[in-house]
Amino acid sequence: MAVNFGRNHPMIEELFSHKKEGIIKPFIISGPCSVETPDQLFQTVKVLYKEGIRVFRGGVWKPRTRPGSFEGVGAIALPWIAEVKKKFDIEFAIEVASAQHVEEALKSGIDILWIGARSSVNPFTVQEIADSLKGVNIPVLIKNPVNPDLSLWLGAFERIQAAGITETAAIHRGFSNFREKKYRNSPNWQIPIDFRSALPEIPMICDPSHISGKRSLVPIVSQKALDLNFDGLMIESHIHPDEAWSDAAQQLTPQSLGLMIRSLQTRKVHFEEEGKQHKLDEIRAQIDQADHDLLEAIHRRMALVEKIGDFKKLNNVAVLDMDRWKHILETRPAWANELKLSPSMIEEMFGLIHQESIKKQTEILDQNPKESQD
């Protein structure tokens, strides 16, 4: 029999009710990266509560990349959490990474569990957590795996849902990328968008703190998430952020968190007037036509690629010509710039087109090897 350990705060019910009408009011989860001391927890919760936060987070066991850094205070934090839960009418979420964590969290009345990015990347860990959740009903939030692999993220949901958990939500916390400089974890917004196409009924929460890595970026990433119709935000907040034992640079004071949330621009889900919806449909029809023209242009280009492939084959000339490729890579982004298109986007696009052209010409060359030896 399913046992419901959580008290299901109205905000949580709203998140899982899949209602999407009117203005998008983001569901907010906030709290420190790590629970450090009873006083730090109490002070942080007290001010966040004043700022209107009702659903909290706090890491107890911290997965760290290198040993020796702070790995969380562990299970001694659970009674501290129980204590603040008694003082304030709140729900509390913690990260679990093993069956033992789940058992201890459930025993101490934790309301929501989340699976972190270093666990969702590992099917063994997710399965262990899923097995330990059989017969329990508690909301489980699943962060994206550290690497940008949509199937791995979807797979984690399949495992947790197969264990009988009905309330699940996804947390987009960005993806590790060694080339990235601006963000701690690159947002790759297309992946959460693809996630929503695959599992539209799962609420999507953004974690701007772990995407940003620094507090100055948190409002910008939060606004972007709302603009993309995300259902909620999980944001780290600490009573004295600079003294935090983990993730000091990205945490906000509870007051600045409140200020930020109030300054976020909320958007409407749909157009209210029929005339405006009609105008939107009209612009979309024009976009459909523009996309069709784009595909026709690509089709024309590919036909020319075949022609050049035949010609090279006839004359026994190699497919790849680095000087030509260099020329393409220099001219197309420059043309894009003149048309006020993003040169980096066009460079990426031509990377794909060129790859396909090379593939096509190689296929032509391989079709009838004998013919090319004239």
Q: By CB under 5 A, name the binding residues for Mn ion.
A: 33, 247
Q: How far is the CB of 168 from ligand PEP (least distance, A)?
A: 16
Q: Pick the closer one to Mn ion by CB: 10 or 67.
A: 67
Residue with tokens 């790859």: 355
Beta partners for residue 170, in sequence order: 142, 204
Measured between alpha carbons, how far is 243 from 309 in angstroms, rounded to an integer? 63
Q: How far is the CB of 116 from ligand PEP (least distance, A)?
A: 3
Window 56-95: contact mask with ligand PEP (x via CB under 6 A):
---x---x--------------------------------
Q: Pick the closer one to ligand PEP by CB: 132 or 251.
A: 251
Q: Which stretch binds ligand PEP (CB under 6 A): 69-77, 110-118, 273-281, 353-361?
A: 110-118
Q: Is residue 33 a contact point for ligand PEP (CB under 6 A)?
A: yes
CB 170 within 8 A of CB 144: yes
Residue 84 CA to its chain's centroid (Å): 30
Q: Which residue in 94, 136, 89 sits closest to 113, CA to CA?
A: 94
Q: Is residue 309 a contact point for ligand PEP (CB under 6 A)?
A: no
Coil, strand, or helix at residue 169? strand
Beta partners for residue 74, in sequence order: none
Query: Under the phi-then-psi rule, with left for phi > 0, alpha for psi from -120 to 50, and beta for the rest, what region is 361?
Result: alpha
Q: How far is the CB of 36 from ligand PEP (least distance, A)?
A: 13
Residue 116 partner contact from ligand PEP, Mn ion, none using kind-dependent CB cut-offs of 5 to 8 Å: ligand PEP
Residue 123 partner contact from ligand PEP, Mn ion, none using kind-dependent CB cut-offs of 5 to 8 Å: none
Q: How far is the CB of 31 from Mn ion (least distance, A)?
A: 10
Q: Is residue 187 a contact point for ligand PEP (CB under 6 A)?
A: no
- Give the CA count within 13 Å in the CB-facing half-sphere of 301: 12
Among 12, 97, 117, 205, binds ligand PEP (CB under 6 A): 117
Measured between alpha carbons, how far is 319 from 360 in angstroms, rounded to an integer? 10
Measured between alpha carbons, how far is 183 from 176 in angstroms, rounded to an integer? 9
Residue 173 partner contact from ligand PEP, Mn ion, none using kind-dependent CB cut-offs of 5 to 8 Å: ligand PEP
Q: Pick the closer one to Mn ion by CB: 51 or 247.
A: 247
The count of chain residues that interact with ligand PEP, using the rule CB under 6 A, is 9
Q: Which stretch binds ligand PEP (CB under 6 A): 115-123, 157-165, 271-279, 327-335?
A: 115-123
Q: Pick the closer one to ligand PEP by CB: 101 or 173.
A: 173
Q: Is residue 208 a contact point for ligand PEP (CB under 6 A)?
A: no
Among 101, 143, 172, 313, binds ligand PEP (CB under 6 A): 143
Residue with tokens 């993003």: 342
Q: Which stretch binds ligand PEP (CB under 6 A): 40-48, 116-124, 248-256, 258-266?
A: 116-124
247 phi/psi in degrees, rounded to 5 = 50, 45
Pairing, β 204-206 against β 232-236: parallel
CB 124 within 8 A of CB 89: no
CB 229 within 8 A of CB 24: yes
In sequence order, which ranges of 133-189 are alpha helices (DSSP H)?
A: 150-162
Measured between alpha carbons, how far is 56 from 145 in angstroms, rounded to an integer? 22
CB atoms within 10 A of CB 148: 17
Measured between alpha carbons, how far is 164 from 216 in angstroms, rounded to an integer? 40
Residue at shortest CB range from ligand PEP: 116
Q: Pick the closer one to ligand PEP by CB: 209 or 357.
A: 209
Q: Is residue 210 a contact point for ligand PEP (CB under 6 A)?
A: yes
Binding site for ligand PEP (CB under 6 A): 33, 59, 63, 116-118, 143, 173, 210
